[in-house]
Amino acid sequence: MIKNKKAGVFAIGLVLGMIIFIGMSWHAFSTTNKNINAGVIKTTASINIKNMGDRLSFYINESSKLAASQAFYEIVKDSAIDKDNPSCTVTGDTIIWNSNCMPEKIFLQNKFTDEYGKSFFDSLKAYSETNLTDITYTHTFENGEIKTKTDPKTFSSEEKGTFATYKLEYEFNPSITLILEEENINLDSFDFIYIKTNSDIRECRDEEAVDMVLCVKNKLEFDGWTVDVKKQGSYLIFELETEEYFFFEDKGMKFEKIILKFAMII
Amino acid sequence: MEIKNKKAQAGELVQDTVGLVIVALLLIIFIIISTVLWGAPKKEIEKIATEQITKDQEHLSLQAWLQKTVEIEIEEEKQDITIAELIRLSKINPIYEEILNQEAEKSLGIYNYEFNKQAGSLFYIPSDEIITIRLEIK
């Protein structure tokens, strides 16, 4: 009987020991797995979210370049003047440049910034991977650069693992600075074109040149533009074509040289 | 009496042996089950890691390729443009699709490029569409 009691206690102890052993083993197994799983999911999710940041950065960079090209086209299309200026008149379909209707630096910078902002926002609206339109963007023109500033945007990603769901947050700042010279855009060139053309016409007039077109054409030379001059009545019609190609939208997307057209009185 | 004790001792020995065998069997079963349970997550982790490496390589190769500069000819004029611009150009004018394919063949190695997939890098073409491009192993 005493022997049986001892055996009973031993058996119970054995069973309890086994339960504790199995329980601890299971706990160690699940905890380790959970940690490994968390590590893998965390690494995977952070790589995915970094890649998403890369894609977004690429998209914003490309959109910025495209917006700058479009803004430049909008300026050149209107002969680089303020179309609402009542002093501006036309000969045929060409704007006449004169002292009351000529390219003005501040106006061009403001118009460029506005057009850039519009085009840039259009591209943000189209981005499908995440919503980019809920952020306020401010664009400023400074020393030949267009700066887009905004507050950082937080993206979150949820990854489901075998043992738990992991949530990751990532902060991305879509601010960007575009150097316009690198995009072959120089807004100061319009001001210079007006001054140089005006003085060359005056010189040719003073020289009493027989062929005004040839005289002016021989004098004119602008970096980044090829010049063509024609005579139309008492005006010279100038067609300046960019040496570089630009992407812009005008009844569909185009990749062409942009033409600046204006007239000046002889 | 002694015979009875001897019988009891033998019975006890058999009982203890059977008990030990059962405990050993239980341990073996536990070890087998543990190994099977350990193996499954390992395989899952390996699968996730392999998929992730492939996806990451595709992403990095695509980003590098899109920013590569190539020389093309437009109206008999040579022009340096990036692959990203060439892709946009090929959407405007199908003539450039052939040049894009040649460039892809030259520089993408084991990959092919594909449009209109769910994941990939996006491009904006005003008044037209959003292009999604990604790489895929040939």
What is the predicted ipTM? 0.77
A14 in contact with B, Cβ within 8 Å: yes
**Residue B118, domain member (yes or no):** yes
From A160's Cα to the closest Cα of chain B, the distance in A is 12
Of B63, B120, B126, the CB nearest to A253: B126
Residues of B with Cβ-Cβ distance to A126 under 8 angstroms: 124, 130
Q: Are A152 and A186 in contact (CB under 8 A)?
A: no
What confidence tens digit (pLDDT) does each residue in B8-58 have? 888 888 888 888 898 889 888 877 887 776 666 677 777 777 888 888 888
Name the residue range of residue B89's domain: 63-137
Partners of residue A43 in chain B, C-beta under 8 Å: 52
Angle between helices B2-66 and A2-77 (to 10 degrees): 10
Residue B96 lies in a domain: yes
- B125 is a domain residue: yes
Q: Quick check: is B98 in a domain?
A: yes
Distance in angstroms (rounded) separating the CA atoms of residues B106 and B99: 10
* CB-CB under 8 Å, A253 with B92: yes
Burial class (CB in 10 A: 0-12, 13-18, 19+), A35: exposed
Rounded to whole angstroms, the Cα distance separating B91 from B73 reads: 17
Task: Check the CA dihedral A146-A150-A152-A156 and report its sign.
Answer: negative
Judged by a CB distance cut-off of 8 A, whether residue A122 touches chain B is yes
Does A47 sit within 8 Å of B63, measured CB to CB? Answer: no
CB–CB of B128 and A129 under 8 A? no
| Three-state DSSP class for residue A243 | coil
- Report yes or no on B19 lying in a domain: no
CB atoms within 10 A of CB A215: 19
Contact A146, A68 (CB under 8 A): yes
Greatest mean pLDDT among A124-138, B23-37, B82-96: B82-96
Q: What is the largest CA-CA distance in chain A?
A: 140
B75 belongs to a structural domain: yes
Nearest to A128 among B30, B52, B122 (CB): B122
Angle CA A162–A163–A167, to nearest 5: 95
Residue B30 counted as domain residue:
no
Parallel, antiparallel or unpaired: strands B77-82 and A253-256? unpaired
Q: Which band of pLDDT confidence, cut at 50, 70 and 90, is reported for residue A35?
A: confident
Structural domain count, chain B = 1
pLDDT tens digit string along A9-25?
888 888 888 888 878 87
Which residues of chain A are within 8 Å of residue B32 when distances are taken between CB atoms?
A: none
Q: Output the CA torsion sign for A195, A196, A199, A201.
A: negative
Q: What is the pLDDT of residue A240?
A: 97
